[in-house]
Amino acid sequence: MTINDGLYFATATISLICLVYRGYRRYRTTDARKVLTFIFLNLFLTGFFEVLKDWYISEGFSLASEVRTIETIIYFALHNLLSPCFAYYIVLINGAAKNKGRDYTVWFFTPMAIAQIVLAVTPATNFAYGYDEQGNYYRGPGMIVFYLVALFYFVYLVYSLHKTKNVLKSDYIKGYPIFLGTVVVGIIITLISADFQLEPVTEAVAAVGLMLTIDCNDGLIDIKTGWPNKAWLKMNVRLYDVYKYNYTFITVRFLNLNNYKDSMASSVRNNIVNKLSDLIENAAPDCEIYRYDESTFTVVVSEQLDEEKISEDIINSFGKAIHSDISDIDIRTVISIAKVPEDIESWESHERLIEYVPESANSQLTVLESHDLTFIKRENEIKEALHRAIVNQGFDVFYQPIWERSSGKIVACEALCRLYDSELGSVPPGEFIKIAEKNGMIVDLGYIVFEKVCRAISAHKLWNLGIKKVEINLSPFQLLARGLADRLEKILYKYSVPVNMINFEITETAPNDSRKDFTDVISKLTSMGFKLSLDDYGTAYSNISNVMSNNYSNIKIDASILWEAEKDRSTKELLRSTIQTLKNAGNNIVQEGVETEKQLIFVTDAGANLVQGYYFSKPLPIEEFVRFVKDFNTKNDIKVNYKEEVDAGKDGGISNKVEEKEEAGKAKAIAEKAKAAAEKDKVATEKDKSAAEKDKAA
């Protein structure tokens, strides 16, 4: 056996083993898997026929020349298919071939057809190769066509990979150069020496590499069903976004499937899952199917397919009991159907759709279509608006006054972020804050707000107006941002703002994270001189020991508790006792959401020493806030020079100033009335207490 025979034998052996292995694994059939299987079959036949030919000729059998001629044609016919097959496999994997019509297919395979035409005329013309009178093989001028065709597919393959390099898994990016480089080395050596046919075996090695890193990568496959998993879906969605493909995205979520996890054997449960999987496959035979998680499948329907029929078939497959070995199982199913990019675009919006379960999903089958999914589009629009605002520093900061009971003056305020977008208009904080947190924008947003607040404190010298603290909300995501304390310190220094002017508000749920990093950052901030307020107290699990251990300077009781207290007597008494308990523990109590005089009297009587709400003022832009505080905190006989604050053209003129002044005076008068009423109640309570003590002594 010659060296070349050994190389061809190795090629055939490697390919045969891989074919057997692929049959054993029994993954779900896809176009890409079909192509890779064909590559292995091609390489097996190439190696097998080469070894068979050499053996036949060496044994001196008759018709050796004819056998050699036929085998050579078979060799080149198979070999000319390899480069387009390798390239086609890659463009199927990275999405370049998806949703392509007939024109793309013709364009892609035309070079291969040219090579095969050259091969077809070669036996009569010796254009690509031939044999001399002694039977020695030689290359003809047409051989260059074969290599130019191979080069075309190689260049296209590299271009396609480069276009999607930021989306493909790192395993792919690392593996492709190695596998492609192996083939290139084999081609070069074969070109240099026709007597050393290394190219086929290097192609077999490259195919094995593709199979192990992509085709049979357990990290991309759901082992139980054989379908691609969430990781593969995520990669493909991003690839399709690169190519701007249109498709229909269908999710099938089984709400109560996990309820049977502990009540039935795993084999029975797996059987149910496979039945559900088969129902989807039968309804969508030509579509991409993924198993997103244990209870969710997703289907990608190409725009070339009949989306309406496939959707209808999937819907009709569910809504009825699933037969198992034990009994019929009722599976509650939610099917969501969205068009890309009309309804959803990014991977994040795909995830949002997959995981969304409407409150009305109590029936056996719930179907959500485009008109039910407008909230996802709204989230995407807000995400884009947030991005624009971060780039352009487009957030506004409004300030809501905080009134102090003991002095009857405005002594603090809360800085509240506002977003007005050129396309969406005003976006409520309740919408954009959650989206900013979910998409990692909250950290940048927080720094922008903090800098705007520091700039306002410095520019208006708020401490001269009697403002002791400015409350700024600090998200748990911000607390865990790297370098937070140092960044805040630099901004303070930039605007010469005293650190004791800043009070960070932290939500009650944040400390429950109980991560050491969280505690370390809190300690660092307090050591720098920042004060902390516990925000929205009463809206989550209330842990008194946690409240006491974090050295909060203020406890802010959520407005919803106060509003509920007006409707329910027990809640009212609970609120009263909560305020008194926290106050007795040495905390400042800030009651949020005070809107009426009755509420003000109640919370101050209960012990709240700081009050915030529309009763005093709505959140105001900094210029209006400054005027409001001056009017509120200054006695009537002290005049305020508005010219020093704002140009008349900006604040709407003298009439607005008069209205603001009247509103501030009215608010102060009512606040003083509330203060007097509270003092009167306190005196009455002390008298009652004194009388009770006298009666007891008697």
Q: What is the mean pLDDT of residues 292-297?
A: 92
Check residue 644 and give its pLDDT: 35
Q: What is the mean pLDDT of residues 187-216?
A: 83
Backbone dihedral angles phi then psi of residue 355, each to the nearest 5 degrees: -90, -5
Classify residue 379: in a domain, yes or no: no
DSSP string, 234-282: HHHHHHHHHTT--EEEEEEEETTGGGGTTTS-HHHHHHHHHHHHHHHHH
Dihedral-angle region of residue 170 (phi above 0 means left; psi in -120 to 50 means alpha; beta otherwise) = alpha
d(CA 16, CA 44): 6
Q: Tell me the sheet residues that pair with 301.
A: 248
In tens, the pLDDT along 53-68 reads 888 877 777 777 888 8
Q: Mean per-residue pLDDT for 85-90?
A: 92
Same domain, 479 and 545: yes
| Closest to 399 measured CA to CA, from 254, 269, 501 | 501
Does residue 293 share a domain with residue 360?
yes
425: phi > 0 → left, psi -120 to 50 → alpha, else beta; which? Answer: left
Q: Provide the H-helix boundaries in 610-653.
A: 622-633, 648-651
Tell me the average pLDDT across 462-482. Answer: 91
Q: Quick one: pLDDT at residue 476? A: 84
Q: Which of 180, 196, 216 is the last residue of a domain?
A: 216
Same domain as 315, residue 178: no
603-641 burial: b if 16+ Cβ within 10 Å, else e: bbbbbbbbbbbebbbebbbbbbbbbbbbbbbbeeeeeee
Strand order in the sheet with 288-293: 288-293, 296-302, 247-254, 333-340, 365-368
Residues 69 and 62: their CA atoms lie apart, in Å, by 13
Tokens representing residue 461 in the block: 């010298």
pLDDT at 673 over 70: no
Provide the Cα torsion 365, 370, 373, 379; round to 10°. Answer: 160
Is residue 380 domain-resident?
no
106-138 pLDDT, tens digit per residue, is 999 999 999 999 999 999 999 999 988 887 888
- What is the spatial distance between Cα 565 and Cα 592, in angstroms, rounded to a whole number? 13
Angle at 628 between CA 625 and CA 630, to 5 degrees: 110
Q: Across residues 413-426, what is the average pLDDT?
A: 94
Angle between helices 199-210 and 31-58 (to 10 degrees): 150
Q: pLDDT at position 380, please?
A: 84
Which has the higher per-residue pLDDT, 275 or 325? 275
My answer on whether 76 and 55 are in the same domain is yes
Instruction: Calculate what percentage of the chain has a pLDDT beyond 90.
Output: 42
Closest CA to 432 of 394, 472, 484: 394
Domain, as residue range, for 86: 3-216
Burial degree of 695 (CB within 10 A; 0-12, 13-18, 19+): exposed
115-124 burial code (b ≥16 CB/10 A, e <16): bbebbeebee
Comparing C-alpha atoms, which of 216, 307, 283 is closest to residue 32? 216
Query: What whole-number distance in Å separates Cα of residue 652 and Cα of residue 551?
Result: 44
The answer on pLDDT for 660 being more than 50 is no
User: 259 in a domain, yes or no?
Assistant: yes
CATH number at residue 575: 3.20.20.450
The per-residue b/e assignment along 428-454, b for 16 or more CB within 10 angstroms, e otherwise, is: eeeebbebbbeeebbbbbbbbbbbbbb
Query: What domain count does the chain have?
Result: 3
Mean pLDDT of the region 495-523: 77
Mean pLDDT of the chain: 83
Of the listed ranges 182-196, 243-257, 475-489, the least confidently predicted one is 182-196
Domain assignment present for 625: yes
pLDDT of residue 171: 64
pLDDT digits (tens, 9 = 90+) for 361-380: 667 888 888 888 888 888 88
Pick the range with the lowest mean pLDDT from 103-117, 427-441, 674-688.
674-688
Residue-level pLDDT at 230: 93
Query: What pLDDT, on a 0 to 100 scale, did the predictor assign at position 262?
Result: 61
Show the beta-strand stretches assigned E in 358-449: 365-368, 395-404, 410-421, 425-427
The residue-averaged pLDDT of 576-590 equals 87
Q: Tell me the pLDDT band of 402, cut-offs 50, 70 and 90.
A: very high
Please indicate, yes or no, if residue 144 is contained in any of the structural domains.
yes
Residue 339 and residue 253 share a domain: yes
Instruction: Tell me, yes or no, whether 386 lies in a domain.
Output: no
Confidence of residue 426 (pLDDT cuts 50, 70, 90): very high
The predicted structure's pLDDT at residue 658:
41
**Can you tell me the mean pLDDT for 134-161?**
89
**DSSP SS3 for 43:** helix
Check pLDDT > 80 for residue 321.
Answer: no
Considering the domain architecture, whether residues 560 and 648 belong to the same structural domain is answered as yes
Query: pLDDT band at 696, cuts 50/70/90?
Result: very low
User: Which has the higher per-residue pLDDT, 195 or 595?
Assistant: 595
CA distances from 207 to 51, 106, 203, 282 (A): 21, 25, 6, 31
For residue 168, pLDDT over 70 is answered with: yes
- The answer, yes or no, to whether residue 689 has pLDDT greater than 90, is no
Residue 309 lies in a domain: yes
Token code pair at residue 386: 């947030």
At residue 679, the pLDDT reads: 55
Q: In terms of domains, do 648 and 568 share one?
A: yes
Most confident of 275-279, 327-331, 541-545, 676-680: 275-279
Q: Which residue has the higher pLDDT, 181 or 275?
A: 275
Q: Buried (b) or exposed (e) across 256-272, using 16+ Cβ within 10 A?
A: ebeeeeeebeeeebebb
Q: What is the mean pLDDT of residues 429-454?
A: 93
pLDDT band at 486 (very low <50, low <70, confident <90, very high): very high
pLDDT number for residue 653: 35
Burial of 477 (0-12, 13-18, 19+ CB in 10 A): middle
Does 98 have pLDDT greater than 90? no
Q: Residue 231: which CATH number?
A: 3.30.70.270
Share of the chain above pLDDT 70, in %: 84
pLDDT at 636 over 70: no
Answer whether residue 404 shows pLDDT above 60: yes
Q: What is the pTM of this model?
A: 0.65
Token representation of residue 192: 């240099």
pLDDT band per the 50, 70, 90 thresholds, residue 256: confident
- Encode burial over 49-81: b for 16+ CB neighbours within 10 A, e otherwise: bbbebbebeeeeeeeeeebbeebbeebbbbbbb
Q: CB of 80 within 8 A of CB of 149? A: yes
pLDDT of amino acid 34: 92
Please, which pLDDT band fits residue 508 given cuts at 50, 70 and 90? low
Q: Indicate the range of 116-120, 392-396, 417-421 predicted with least confidence.
A: 392-396
Judge whether 695 lies within some domain.
Answer: no
Same domain, 362 and 466: no
Check whether residue 208 and residue 224 sit in a common domain. no
pLDDT given at position 676: 56
**pLDDT band per the 50, 70, 90 thresholds, residue 455:** very high
Lowest-confidence pick of 560-569, 583-592, 669-678: 669-678
Of 372, 403, 429, which marks where a domain is finished? 372
Q: 301 pLDDT exceeds 60?
A: yes
The CATH number for 40's domain is 1.20.1070
Domain boundary among 183, 216, 249: 216
Same domain, 200 and 258: no
- For the chain, how far is it from start to end, CA to CA, in angstroms? 124
Which helix (H) or strand (E) is 200 found in, with range?
A: helix 199-210
pLDDT of residue 3: 82
The first and second tokens of residue 133, run together, are 């009178």
- Asked if 634 and 513 sit in the same domain, the reply is yes
- 28 & 76 share domain: yes
